[in-house]
Structures are given as structure tokens and as C-alpha cells.
């Protein structure tokens, strides 16, 4: 049995894997940017993260209550 008999299947399988992994990477990058925009918007409106050093403004818990 030679590998050339199955070359079409092998190429299609690798191409499908590359497309799927590339799509997942793109999806994660787009979601990351969206989450950064949401955080920046909340911080612009005075909400702070619990991990930040100062507790000057309302917290994220307050943002969840208001939503």
C-alpha cells in the first residue's frame, strides 16, 4: 500500500485542520479585542477592577447590578 493512493485524503484532512485551527485563533483574537473594548468603556465610565490598587470608584459588581 503506497501513500500516494491516499494523498487526496491526506491533503484535504490537513487543509481542513488548518482552516479549523485558523478560524479558532481568529475567533479568540476578535473576542479578546471585544473584551478589551468593553473593559476600556467600563473604566472610562468610572468602574474599576477588583485587581486594581485603588478603590476610587464603583466596582464591577456594581456594574453587574446595574445591568
Could you write out the DSSP letters of every residue in 7-26? HHHHHHHHHHHHHHHHHHHH
Enter the pTM of the model: 0.60
How high does pLDDT run on average in the chain?
Answer: 84
11: confidence class by pLDDT, cuts 50, 70, 90: very high
Q: What angle do CA 36, 41, 44 make, to 5 degrees?
A: 125
Do 47 and 57 contact (CB within 8 A), yes or no?
A: yes
Q: What is the CA radius of gyration of the chain?
A: 23
Residue 38 pLDDT exceeds 80: yes
Per-residue model confidence (pLDDT) at position 52 = 62
47: confidence class by pLDDT, cuts 50, 70, 90: confident
Per-residue model confidence (pLDDT) at position 35 = 96
- In whole angstroms, give the CA distance from residue 38 to residue 44: 10
Amino acid at each position: 500500500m503506497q501513500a500516494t493512493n491516499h494523498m487526496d485524503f491526506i491533503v484535504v484532512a490537513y487543509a481542513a485542520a488548518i482552516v479549523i485551527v485558523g478560524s479558532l485563533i481568529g475567533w479568540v483574537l476578535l473576542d479578546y479585542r471585544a473584551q478589551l473594548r468593553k473593559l476600556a468603556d467600563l473604566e472610562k465610565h468610572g468602574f474599576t477592577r477588583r485587581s486594581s490598587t485603588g478603590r476610587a470608584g464603583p466596582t464591577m459588581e456594581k456594574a453587574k447590578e446595574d445591568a
